[in-house]
Amino acid sequence: MKILLTGIAGFIGFHVAKKLIEDGHEVIGIDNINNYYDVNLKFDRLNELGISRLKLDKYDFVISDCFPKLKFIRVSLENSDKIASLFKTEQFDLVCHLAAQAGVRHSIENPHCYVESNIVGFLNILEGCRFNDINHLVYASSSSVYGLNEKMPLSTSDSTNHPVSLYAATKKANEMMAHSYSHLYNIPTTGLRFFTVYGPWGRPDMSPMLFASAIKSGNILKVFNHGKMIRDFTFIDDIVNGISKVLLSPANSDINWNPEKPNTSSSSAPYRLYNIGNSRPVELMEFIETIEKSMNKKAHKEFLPIQPGDVLNTFADTNDLLQEFNFHVNTSIKSGINEFVNWFNSYYK
């Protein structure tokens, strides 16, 4: 299969690229390598894929030195002309859309870039799928869409009408936009709501990296809501496993869908939504203690009130993914943290 992978320099995109290449697919990876966080980490991820920074300093199009079926193109999602041209030229079979402006708190301070990347950029991807007979579009949503919902576990049949950050609102909008294109143009689309992904090559603005950095450096580790939060931390390998399963199985119309009692996770159109999470949530303090044990060092903690945009608890109901794709999480928190810490100590020597 020929696959467009957006956000290839990102945390999840990098790992998905490795999996797709290993499975023998031809991958065209795109990214704009913005400076939301340290670009050196993004370049180092690409270097692991055989895409050298030396070439990227000269060219926007690079073929991997290690994987002949992998090509990289530097482009922004907001550039409608270039995205349209890319779809027309390459004629993809599948699209795995993981690129987005991420970060809950950053969206409070910089709202415009979220609309440009997550709304306008996603529209350009949908238009590319519309005009080029894409077999399946899989895109990244987020557990953040559940917002004020406190019913646990969180199910794709639950309401997502009360987001608490603009980031979450843009992800909710993506799901609605995808449904409209599935309905109007019969494009199979599947949205994946990721639950607190962690692991090697993770984003430095996410809690596992912030915790490990504070512990290693001896700086203050800020613990919000006084540690009284629960998260469904999910190891990157399990996320990638779920994505690769779903990508190769285009969404179908739900023959049992009832417009009088509509199921929010399916439709009369070829449209689906799934949670991808560990389904074994842990308390925040337990997660921090696991990192402390793995690093053999205690953190200097400062307990603070909850931050704007944060939700108290996440807990994924993944029964649909289990039944339809035999999806199982194989990585325990202890094992996943050890892998993450080993990479962290090696990378940040």
Domains of the chain: 2-347 (3.40.50.720)
How high is the pLDDT of residue 228?
A: 86
Best mean pLDDT range from 141-150, 181-190, 254-263, 322-331: 181-190
User: Does the annotation mark 167 as catalytic?
Assistant: yes
Side chain identity, residue 179: H
Contacts (Cβ under 8 Å, ≥6 apart) of 173: 118, 119, 122
Question: What does the pLDDT average to over 239-257?
Answer: 95
Strand partners, 197: 234
In 3D, which of 339, 183, 322, 343 has the Cα closest to residue 251?
Answer: 183
Sign of CA dihedral 175, 252, 266, 247: negative
* Burial class of residue 125 (count of CB atoms within 10 Å of its CB; 0-12, 13-18, 19+): buried
How high is the pLDDT of residue 85?
A: 97
How high is the pLDDT of residue 6?
A: 98
Token digits for 191?
A: 């949205």
Kindly list the strands in the beta sheet with 271-276, ordered across the sheet, starting from the edge strand earlier in the chain: 61-63, 70-74, 26-31, 2-6, 94-97, 136-142, 189-194, 271-276
How high is the pLDDT of residue 309?
A: 67
Please state the separation of Cα 94 from the chain's center in Å.
Answer: 17
How high is the pLDDT of residue 226?
A: 84
Q: Model confidence over 120-169: pLDDT tens digits? A: 999 999 999 999 999 999 999 999 999 888 888 999 999 899 998 899 99
- Which residue of the set 36, 114, 167, 198 is catalytic? 167
Contact 191, 274 (CB under 8 A): yes
Sign of CA dihedral 130, 22, 36, 210: positive
Please state the separation of Cα 123 from the chain's center in Å.
Answer: 18
Contacts (Cβ under 8 Å, ≥6 apart) of 113: 101
Q: Model confidence over 299-346: pLDDT tens digits? A: 898 888 887 767 778 889 999 999 999 998 989 999 999 999 999 999
Question: Is the confidence at residue 293, as pLDDT, over 90?
Answer: yes
CA–CA dist 181, 63 (Å, integer): 32
- The whole model's pTM is what? 0.95
Percent of the chain with pLDDT over 90: 79
CA–CA dist 170, 242 (Å, integer): 23
Token digits for 246?
A: 């779903």
Distances (CA, A) of 161 to 132, 157, 176, 178, 338: 32, 12, 11, 17, 37
In three state form, how does the secondary structure of 153-194 look?
A: CECCCCCCCCCCCHHHHHHHHHHHHHHHHHHHHCCCEEEEEE
In 3D, which of 273, 53, 291, 288 has the Cα closest to residue 160?
Answer: 273
